[in-house]
Amino acid sequence: MMRTGNFKGFEVAIHDPGIVVITFNQPERLNGTTQGMKRDLVETLIQVQMDDGVRVVVFTGSGRAFCAGDDLKGGDPEGDSLTEPIFHGHHTPMGTYDGLRALSQPLNTSIRNLDKLTIAGINGVAIQTGLSLALSCDLRIASTEARLGSATLRFGLLPDEGGQALLIQTIGLPKTMDFLMRKKIVGATEAAEMDMVHEVVEPERLMPRTMELAKELAEGPQVAMRMLKRSIYNAIDLSFEQALDEIASKTAVTDHHPDAREGIVAFQKKTNPEFNKDMPAREATV
C-alpha cells in the first residue's frame, strides 16, 4: 500500500478511480528539485508500481512553475522523508558520474519504466530537470502559461538527466539539435507545434482537463494498456521483426484476459465495457 501525504518538496494524493496526483509544492523555490527529493520520488514510484489499486499517475506543480530545474540552494525542503539521506556526490569527476547515475537519472527511468500511464500537467515553467521529467511522462498537457526548455548551455552545462535522448524520441533529431544548441525556451503553443506537448489549455482548465484524461485512461483495460505502453517503448529499439515477436508474446496474455472477453461481449451488445473487474481501484485520499 503506497503512502500519501506531504513529503520533501511534493505531496501525494489519490483520486478516484486509482489516480495518483504528485504535486510539487515549493512554489517559492519554483519547485526546484534536490537529490533527496528525487530519491523520495523514486520511492513513491516504486510504491505506485507495486500498488494494484493505482492506475494512472499525474505530475503537476504549484505556483508559476511545474519544475524549474535543480534547486541550486541545495537544502531539502520541509516534509516527511521516504529515504535516508546520503552523500550527494559531485565532489570529483567520478563523484559527478556516480551522483548522476545513482541519484538523479533514476527518477526519469522510474517514470519511463512505470507500467502505469503517466501524465504531466505542465502548469508553468518546466526547465532542465522539469523538462526531462515531463518528457519522461507518457502524455503532456500544458497551460498557456507554461514555458519549456533545457537551456543548460546557458551555464555551460549538459542536459545530464537524459534530456537529449528524451527530446530525440519526442521531436526528432533535427529539432533537438536546434532546440538544445540554441538554448531555446518556448511557450506552450510552440511546444505543441514541435510535438513536445499533446494539448494546450487555459490555466483554469489545466487540472480539470488533466484529470479528465486521467479518468479516461484509468477506466480503460489496464492489463492491455500497460502491456501496450511497454511494447510501444520497446519498439523504439527493436527491428520490425523483433517488434512483431514482442507484441505477439504480450497478445498471448491479453487475448485470454477477462477484459478481452468483456470488450467483445460489450461490442456485440452495443454497451459500454466494464473493464478491470479483477483489479479494484484505490480509494481516494482527498
Q: What is the mean pLDDT of residues 261-272?
A: 95
Whether residue 39 lies inside any domain: the answer is yes
Q: 208 and 231, same structural domain?
A: no
The pLDDT of 60-77, averaged and rounded, is: 88
Please tell me whether residues 244 and 211 are part of one structural domain: no
If asked whether residues 230 and 170 sit together in one domain, one would say no
Q: How far apart are CA 180 and CA 3, in angstroms?
A: 37
Beta bridge partners of 259: none
Q: Answer yes or no: is pLDDT of 280 > 80.
A: no
pTM of the model: 0.95
Task: Indicate if 105 and 173 belong to the same structural domain.
Answer: yes
Structural domain boundaries enclosing 230? 222-269
The reply to whether 154 and 184 lie within a common domain is yes
Asked whether 221 and 275 are in contact (CB, 8 A), the reply is yes
Query: Do 198 and 226 belong together in one domain?
Result: no
CATH code for the domain of 108: 3.90.226.10
Of 23-27, 38-42, 82-86, 155-159, the range with the lowest mean pLDDT is: 82-86
Task: Identify which of 85, 137, 84 has the alpha carbon closest to the alpha carbon of residue 109.
Answer: 137
Residues 95, 204 within the same domain: yes
Residue 210: DSSP 8-state = H
Q: Quick check: 77 pLDDT over 80?
A: no
Q: What percent of the chain has pLDDT over 90?
A: 88
Per the prediction, the chain carries an average pLDDT of 95
Query: Cβ atoms within 10 A of the Cβ of 52, count?
Result: 14
Cis status of the peptide bond prior to 17, with omega within 30 of 0: yes
Angstrom distance (rounded) from CA 175 to CA 167: 9
Residues 137 and 189 reside in one and the same domain: yes
- Are 207 and 262 in a shared domain? no
For residue 63, give Cα distances in angstroms to 28, 68, 119, 127, 259: 8, 11, 18, 15, 40
Contacts of 251 (CB under 8 A, 6+ apart): none
144-183 pLDDT per residue, tens: 999 999 989 999 999 999 999 999 999 999 999 999 999 9
Q: Both 187 and 214 in a single domain? A: yes
Asked if residue 166 belongs to a domain, the reply is: yes
> Is residue 285 one of the residues assigned to a domain?
no
Torsion angle of the four alpha carbons 43, 45, 49, 52, in this order, in degrees rounded to the nearest 10:
100
Q: What per-residue confidence (pLDDT) applies to 78?
A: 74
Q: Assess whether pLDDT exceeds 90 at residue 235.
A: yes
pLDDT digits (tens, 9 = 90+) for 80-125: 889 988 888 888 999 999 999 999 999 999 999 999 999 999 999 9
Question: What is the total count of domains within the chain?
Answer: 2
Predicted confidence at residue 74, as pLDDT, reads 61
